[in-house]
Structure 1
């Protein structure tokens, strides 16, 4: 929840497009951008990594560097690489329902420090890679924990607390770690699909990715990994960041989101991703994405509002 102190500042906008309310930290700056009227081709750039999270409304992001266009909604992250400008459209912004986004600029030195700590304490053994930020644009769904962290960071940055700098440092470190984990997980999934025989974790990841709709069989995964039970669970969590069950759960829900974007029915998506009841699927989806499957489908397919689900 945004504090009254922050809300008071936002209630006095200086401009109607990308009105900026900022709070500085030692290695990061948090800004809340409010837009109160529709606009197109608004340029945004930074010489630092910028982590953006939508709070309300819709943006359409255009990359001048990679020539792509994507819609940006709440419960999603858009990470801008340093010195890679983008252009933004605000199709639905208005005075009564502004489009609002939080943006956190993080110094490259701060990112490197987190990478160094991860490489020292949680090395990526088994891969020709270390923890490092891949200097590119990134658009992804994020889970409830990340959404909660972003909301908490607004309060931490804006409050006058005696331990503010320390708490800001912890929150920024957590955000960077979540970003690095997401990028590294994407790398490992791609590596696993291209070379499932590289190691035991690759074999398991490739198998899970290709069998999303099937019930998980832990004993079969352990056998596939060629590890003991204890080592398998330890290696999987250290490499992927969660248990095999949680990983499959996340893969299923991200696949479900992709299918809903393509206008598949909620019932079709439910059974295609291994769920046995639509109510269980809907609860799991809402917990992960913040809205239920029907709302998510209508967000990306407005015409579905007049057709059967």
Structure 2
């Protein structure tokens, strides 16, 4: 989907390294970068938050401030904080097979507005601190939901629609919320690991993490959290953005992905994290990551070579 939309927007390149096409929007800008020849240490910097998503090919990202060096491949996200700088290698770019990446620049003011709106809606700050963007590089394999948002954003930016600006604003807000949610969830999990007895929700989250390969029940988690069933369910969804069952499955999938990256077999990984059969595991893994377990494993084994 996203490749088809981008192909329709491309013209003859003016330069062979990081040829850029830009589309302006409210508090944001979409940039499409194509590189047609191998290159090393190409600098990239933005004074705003920059959300990058690989479409085709391979980059190698370097950030000296964070001692960061990593491959950047399709279905992955790389988020740069405002005023940070990276250097990029293009080891596979060819004239007839360019390395393509899209970058969505989101103003600092928009990120702050979205964070403030979330703070007004949720009571997260009472236990874990305020919603805010943590100023560090983020490199992650984004899930299908994030990929769908990116598909919509690319489609909307290129449309000549009377409500284009409003639709871009909504889509960029959704992408920002997903980014903030991802960082906040990581913070909450880290907090719970360090202080599992701080509050009821911390205790329940710690229990889920320690029993990933076991079935869980809302009533049991509510007792661990010292809450009624309804209060626990509401608090959990408010802080984590999903149900306890969905959260456990997401943790299982992320841990399974880590195991596959380390070369574990698909069958052993499946059963180690509580999945009942390999067909079911493969299906929901692809729904979450956009790749089958075998495709995901092969990609990371090739990366390690």
- 1:290 maps to 290
For residues 77 and 166 of structure 1, do their structure 2 counterparts lie closer, same or farther at Cα, with a shift above 3 Å needed? Answer: same
SS at match of 2:96: coil
* Conservation of the 8 A alpha-carbon contact between 2:71 and 2:303: no
Distance in 1 separating the partners of 2:282 and 2:128: 39
- 1:48 maps to 48
- 2:120 maps to 120
SS at match of 2:177: helix
**Structure 2 alignment gaps of length 5 or more:** none
**Structure 1 alignment gaps of length 5 or more:** none
Runs of 4+ in 1 over 3 A off after TM superposition: 2-6
- 1:301 maps to 301
For residues 6 and 213 of structure 1, do their structure 2 counterparts lie closer, same or farther at Cα, with a shift above 3 Å needed? Answer: closer
* Conservation of the 8 A alpha-carbon contact between 1:36 and 1:94: yes
Distance in 1 separating the partners of 2:6 and 2:206: 46
SS at match of 1:43: strand
Q: CA deviation at 1:213?
A: 1.4
Q: CA deviation at 1:52?
A: 0.8
Question: When the two structures are aligned, how many residues end up with a matched partner?
Answer: 305
Distance in 2 separating the partners of 1:5 and 1:193: 43
SS at match of 2:60: strand
SS at match of 1:205: helix
Q: CA deviation at 1:162?
A: 0.4
- 1:99 maps to 99
Distance in 1 separating the partners of 2:246 and 2:300: 26
* Conservation of the 8 A alpha-carbon contact between 1:38 and 1:91: yes
Calculate the TM-score normalised by the size of structure 2. 0.95
Calculate the TM-score normalised by the size of structure 1. 0.94
* Conservation of the 8 A alpha-carbon contact between 1:6 and 1:158: no
Distance in 2 separating the partners of 1:188 and 1:181: 10
* CA deviations over 1:119-155 (Å, ceiling 9, x no partner): 1112314425111111111111221111011011011
* Conservation of the 8 A alpha-carbon contact between 1:298 and 1:304: no
- 1:144 maps to 144
Distance in 2 separating the partners of 1:99 and 1:298: 20
- 2:82 maps to 82
**Pairwise CA RMSD:** 1.8
Q: How does 1:8-19 map to 2 (within 5 A)?
A: 8-19=8-19
Distance in 2 separating the partners of 1:16 and 1:112: 36
Q: CA deviation at 1:230?
A: 0.4
Distance in 1 separating the partners of 2:282 and 2:186: 25
Q: CA deviation at 1:38?
A: 2.1
For residues 126 and 198 of structure 1, do their structure 2 counterparts lie closer, same or farther at Cα, with a shift above 3 Å needed? Answer: farther
* Conservation of the 8 A alpha-carbon contact between 1:123 and 1:131: no
